[in-house]
Every structure is written in C-alpha cells, then in structure tokens.
Structure 1
Amino acid sequence: MANVDQFEAETELTTERSGLLAAPSQAISKVRETIDQPGFRRAFPTLLASLTAVAAVILYISMQKPEMTTLYSSVSESEKSKIIASLQNMGIEIQVDPVTGDLLVPASVYHQARISLAAQGLPEFSGGGFDSLENMPLGISRSVEGMKLRQAQEAELGRSVAEISSIQSARVHLAIPEKSVFVRDQTPPTASVFVNFKNGRKLNQTQVVAITNLVSSSVPGLSPSNVSIIDQFGNLLSNSPDDPDQALADSQLEYRMRLENIYRNRIQSLVTPIVGSGNINAQVNLEIDFTRKEVSQEIVDPDTIAIRSEQNSLKRNCQKGCSWYSWCYFERTTPRGNC
C-alpha cells in the first residue's frame, strides 16, 4: 500500500514539473507562430524602423544640452562668485562663457533665476548698461534710441562711481538736450550724481573732484561746473558755481582742519616717547583770521611818477604771550620808462 502511495506522489510531482516546463515552450511556440504569419513578416520592417526612430529620439533628447542664454554680462568678479553660489544652492545650472566671461543659464529658467537673485539683492549693481543695447530691434525711432543710449550711459557711469571704496551705490542722471541747428540755441548738458555712502565713510575733496571729472569727461560738451554730486543725506558735495562764498568757506574749513591734524600729530609724536603709546590724547583748535581788506585810493600829484598798480599783502600770526611773525608782500608796477 505504501508503494502505491509513493508511486502516485511521484506521478503527481512529475506531472507538475512537466506542466511548468510546458508553459515556456508553449509561449515560445506561440511567438514562433506569430512571427511565421505573413502579415507580421510584412509589418516587421516598419515596426523595427519605428522602434529604432523612437530610441534615437530618446537618446538625442537625453544627450542634447539645454539652450543657454546670457543671464548677466557686465558684473564684477565678486558679484559673479555670489551669483554662481546662489544659483547652485537653488539647483539651477549655470555656466561661465570661457571667452567673454558672461554668466549663462538655461533659457527655460532664465526668468526664475533673475527673480530669485533679485529677491536676494543680487547683483547689487544690475542696472542695464551698454549690454542692454545688444537686443535693440531694427526700425527703432531716433528718440527711443537716444533715450536707450542715455540710460546705458547713466548705468555705466553709476557702476564706475560705485567702484570707489567709500561708496555703496551710485546713480547718475544726465540731462542732454537735443542738438539745434542754431548755434545761439545750444544748451549745455548737465549731470547729477547721487551717492550712497557705506557706514562711517565719506568722500574727500579730491575724490569729489575725481568723480566730477569722470562724469564730465564721459559726456561730450559737459563742463565740470555743470556736475552736481549729492549724498544720501541731501548734502551738496560738489562746489556750486553760483555760490562762491560757500566754496571759499569750505576751502577755509578744510585748510584749518588740515593744520589742526598736522599740529596734533606733531604733539603726539613728541610726547609719545616720554609717556608711552596710548597715554596721550591731544586736541588742537585753531582760530585763523581769514579777513581780507581792500583799500582804494586816488592820489593826484603832478610832480610824482604815475603808478599804474600797487598791491600790498600782509600775513600776521600773533597771540599774547607768544612769538609772532609778520610777512609783507609789496608789488609796484610803474609805466615802462619811468622806473
């Protein structure tokens, strides 16, 4: 009885194994039958060509680089490093043109990149300069072209002024009148420069003159006297040609402060070796008399030689209890032949 049961079990196991082996063979036979059909043989070349074309398109798309467009072209190297780091943190692809140094991003994320950078305040000086003139359409009117050119000049001058270490940002406004065919109707151009200082920084008079000359030399026909420089506090930094007294007062104040610094440094250099460094604090206040006096006299004496012009100049520095000195300058010009 046991032998019969064992035989039946082996028979069932063999049947199951033969069924498992028969399934793949049946599938292969069905595939062969399908391939052997005349209709499939006729359609097989077309099907193979279609699959090959689809695979080629997928491979081309995967290997094709995205179209790159210029994000910024006229930024400093420090600004470029900040922009590259910011976009890489956002996962946006960015490249640097090896020839021009422009920053390139995929065209599909161009606006997203600019908006994201603007939210971070990058770049700090992003006004359109001469690079904005590259995409000007054909057929543009002369008035619009002149306006675009003026805006580009203002942006480029603002960037140049902002490169000074004491200035955080700068804006330049140009007032360039249209040329007239009549010489008498010519109006000179003018310029205004607005500067925003860094914390605790300011411009000295030499830097103000340098900015004035920079702007006036960049615009044809612009005189340095027609350039006004204003800071974020509303102070006029450039000397106004309409107020010579103010210019004189500024020069006198600068002269007094320069002398005070010279005397203070001298005092500190003399006393420091005696009391030690950091143990002295010297302050110097000078009172300088800038009074000028002009006297005109008319003397009629027919027996003396006529004097064409006479000029006297006297400088005196004197205080009670101290030594004083005086310096006189005398010039007399007489008519030729009457010396």
Structure 2
Amino acid sequence: MATGIQTSVQRGRRSQLSARPTTSENRWSKAISLWSGLDKKVKFGIGGLLLLLILGGSFKAHDVQSNTFGELYPLKLNNEDVTEISSVLTNSGIEHTISPTMDGIQMHPDDVRKARALLASHSLPRHNPAPPAADSSMPTADMRKAAERRRLESELVYTLRQMEGVNDARVKLAMPPKTYFRDDQVAVKASVFLDLAKTYQMTPEVAQGIASLVSHSVPELQPENVTLLNSQGKEIDASAPDQLDVVSEREVELQKKLQGALARIFGERVHTVVNVEYDTSHEESRRWTPGDPKHEGVIADSSQLMEEFLDGESKEDGKKYGVTKKAVNYVYSQNSLVNVRMQPKIDRITATVMVDGASDEELAAVAGIVKGAIGIDENRLDNVFVTGLPWNHKVWEETPEPPLAVAPPQESTNLLWEALGLGTGMFLLGLVGAGLLSKRTNPLLGVSLGSSESHNGINGIVDHGSTKNGQTTQ
C-alpha cells in the first residue's frame, strides 16, 4: 500500500512540472494580451511609427553606401601612377583619397566615369615599367635572354617617359639568335612608340637623339634600325636634315638680307631673287688588303663547326645519326669609291634685282649694293642681274578701269532721230495706203458703173442731203 501511494505522488509532481509554461511563451502571451488590449488608434500609431523607422533606416543605409568612396581602378597601381593621377585630379577639383599602401585611389562613385575620361586624355594610368624580378630558376639560355630583353625594354620605357612632351612610351626589341654564319645573320631592330602631347612638335634633332639613345642602350643595335612611331601610327623622321633644306634656308636668308637693304632706298619698287648653288660631295678612292702580301688578298677570318648527333639509349632505337657542318668565312681585298658627305660649300650665287622705273645711274648703284650685301665673288663666277623694267602692279591697280563700251551721246541722238523719222514715214505710208484703199472700195457701193441710171442712183445715194437743183432737202 505504501509503495503505491508514493508512486502516485511522484507521478503527480512530474505532471505538474511538465505543464508549467516557458519564459518565452509567457512573454509572447503577455505581448499578445497587451496588444489586444490596446485601442485601435494606438495600434495604428505604433504601426506607422515602426514603418517610418524602417524606411528611415533603409534610406540612411543607402545614402551611406552611395557616398562611400570606391576604387577608381580595380587593379593595383604603382607609386608613380598614383602620384601623377592624384596631381591631375587635384588640379581638376575632383575629390579623392589615396590608399595607405600607395597602390590605389578612392573617390565618389559618381565621379569615377568623369575621372577615367580625364585621365585617359593624359595617358594615365601608365603600365608598370618595372623590370621583371630576377629568377634564378630559368633553365635555358633563351629564357634568360628573353628576361634580359624585357629588362632593357622596361629601362628604355622609364627613360623615355621622363622626356619633355612624351606622355607615354613603348619599346619593343627584336633580338634574333646570334650565329657565326654571315649569310644567316639578322640585324637587331627596335620599334619605339611615342604618345606625344598635343601641343608638342618633335623636331628631327630630338628624334635622332632618341634613336641614338635606344641604339646605344642595346648591344649590336644600329641607329638606322630604330623606328619611331607617334600615336597616329606615322613614322617620325629621325634622319639628319637634307642638303636641299640647307640650301633653301641659305637662299631665303640671303634674299631677305638683300631685300631689306634695297627696300630702304627704293621701298616697294624693288624685288630680289637669290639662287645659291652648293657643292656637297667629295669623292674618295679607298683600297684595303687583308693579311700579308703572301696571302694575295684572301685570308680566313673566322670558322664555325656545328655537330649534330642522335644516339639511342637501346639498340632497338635504330642507327646512330650524326652530321657535321663546318663554315669558314674569308675576307677579300676591297676596292671602293666613296662619296663622302661634307659640309656644303657655295659654288655660285646668282642674284636678280628688279627696280621699277630705275634710271641707269640707279641700276649701277644697285649692282654695287648687291655685291656688298650678299658677298658676290667674281672669282667664283657669281652673277648679278639688275633690270629697270616696270613690274609694280600696284600702279596698274590704282589706274581706273576704262568704262564699258557705250555709244557716244551724239551717236545716241542720231539713232533716236532716225528711229523717229522711220516711225513717222511708216505712219504716213500707212495713211496713204488707207486712202487709196478707201477710193477703190467706194464704187462697190453702187450696183453698176456702166449705166446712167446707176450713176444717178449713185449720185442720189451720195447727195442724199440735197435735190438735183442744188437745194437742200428737209
């Protein structure tokens, strides 16, 4: 009995513990009961307040996100690009920040497109010209040569970018494998791309200096094998000024000097033309004989031996393969006739002077002035031509043009009278013709011209206002 009673008590306690509600359920039930007990207007007020809080929070989060600075470029930049870009953006008034690691620029998202367009006009950002890091694990000689070529290109790019008027530069080197066979030798070449500033005009002297810089920085590269290109793809001429340009400049200089000296005396009445002939060539004969006289002008300069062989590791691989190539380069006697380019030398000067309406005394004085002004040398067979023929077209421009071909007044008057006379004559002739025509048509009014009755009838018709006795009828 005692055992059964204890068991029932324990079971009763367990049932009471399992029916007790949790804390969260109590809170929800209290909140629900409290919400159900509120007035309807209070419920609407609380709902509106919660809605305003949610909308305000979302707008604030969107505003913070939109005003947060973002990266200008997704890739990392080098220190030089960051410095140049920051300078351009500061001068343009675009707000931005630089990352602490100096490898990026942040700005407002609305300014990114404008900033990129501005930087593109300044050829920014530039590619990183830093040479590749040395790699000791390069197994072959070709890979090491390629790394050396890239290093040379990077150094040249960095140097060219420091020049005035050069926004950006690219350098490509073509360095073929070296061979001792002269027939197979290919020259080292270089191509240089230059993005020049819009206001900068590169002169041939500067282009020639760039070609020399590149050729002296690359082994076995000659200046004539360097090609310079601008941003339009056109080749920049790096050759020395042509002799024709030198001659033209000298002619213009002498002509201005002579024109200025004579214009002080004759003003606009004088015109000068100067022609300069230059001698720019000098011929030299050269002969070169290699070796001693016993070699008879032919000696072996160099030789190269190339061996190729293939030997299988096992007998099943086949026969052994081997080939040997030997090349010997000989040097022969050379005879050459060379035209050496020298400093231009004046061969002859011809000056022509035209003075409008000058007298003989003035022409003689002009000839003396010409000889002293431009250095006429009679021993050099220089020529001076002076003429006084009229040539000033301004005199003809000031002369009034002749009037158009119009008949004189007397001729006009005569023509008028002739026209009036002709018209009057035609009018009178018309009247006479009309009178004659009327006389021929009057007999047609009668019946017959042959009988007296008809004649009397006609008279009666004509004299219808009077009788036959001559009295007037009423």
Q: Which is greater in Rg?
A: 2
**TM-score for both structures, normalised by structure 1:** 0.45
Higher strand share: 2
**TM-score for both structures, normalised by structure 2:** 0.34
